[in-house]
Amino acid sequence: HKSGGKKQIGVTVTDIDGKLWKFRAHDRSHAESAEIHEQVDRMSKRIIEHGHKYDASWIVRPIEPDDA
């Protein structure tokens, strides 16, 4: 990492019916990850078509090319 520190991977944890599920940024280990990411891309395109604009103002560090 350019700053000399270890790069932290983003993790989201959600509770579904009492079971905790962890999702890590850029994780492709799930057996259906290709289908999941295709669905996310479809949903993203659809909300943009309906006028959604992503707000990157909350990002507090430079974005690396492999972050997107």
pTM over 0.85: no
| Per-residue tokens: 66 | 């492999």
Tens of pLDDT, residues 13-41: 889 999 998 888 778 888 888 998 899 99
Q: Quick one: DSSP state of residue 14?
A: E
